[in-house]
Amino acid sequence: MNPERTTPRNVAILIFDDMETLDFAGPPEVFTLATEQNQPSQFHVYEVGLTTAPVHARGRLLITPSHGIDDCPDPDILIVPGGYGTRQLKQNEGLLKWISAQAARVELVLSVCTGSLVLAKAGLLAGKRATTHHSAFGRLAVLSPTTTVVRDQRYVESSDRIMTAGGISAGIDLSLFVVEKLLGEKARAAVEDEMEYGWFFNPKKLGSSDHG
C-alpha cells in the first residue's frame, strides 16, 4: 500500500454471463477516474473472461473481455462481481483454482454483491468476516459456515488482502475506499467530485441555484 508507487496497478475485473451490470461497471469507473485524476497513471483496468468470447450481462448488455483467464496479465487487484451468473461460476473448478491462485499473489481481491459466494466457494472467506447482497446472507453462511456474515455494512475488510462489498452499488463504495487506502483522501475526493457521487450529502459542494 505505497502511495508513492509510480507504476500502475493492474486491475482485473472478472466478467461472465448474467453478471450484475453495475457490479461490473461501478468499480472500473472509480479506478479509471482515479487514474485520470492522478499523475502518473495509477491503475490499468481490464476485463477478464473465462475465455475471450463476449458475455451478456444482466439486461443482455454485451461485453467483450480483453483477456481470458489463461492469457490474463498478472493482476495486482482482482474484482469478482456478482449476479445470477455466479451460480454457474461456483461450479467451475478451473475458475475457482484460478481465483485461489490469484488470491495468493495479488495485492487485493475485491468482491461485489454475490461475488463473495464465489470467493467463499474457493475457500477464501473461511474464518473471516464478509458481506454480500442482502438476499444472499443465508447462502453465504451455508457455503462458508466459519464465515461471520456482516449484515449492516456496505463493505468489509475481510482480511488485509480480501475485501467484500454488499449489493450492487456497494461496489462503488468499496472501490472508493480502496482508492483512498492506496492514494489518499484527495484522490478519493477527486473521483467523487467527477462522479458527482454522494452529492446529496452536501449539494452546495456542486453549486446551487435559487431558481426552481
Catalytic residues: 113
SS3 26: helix
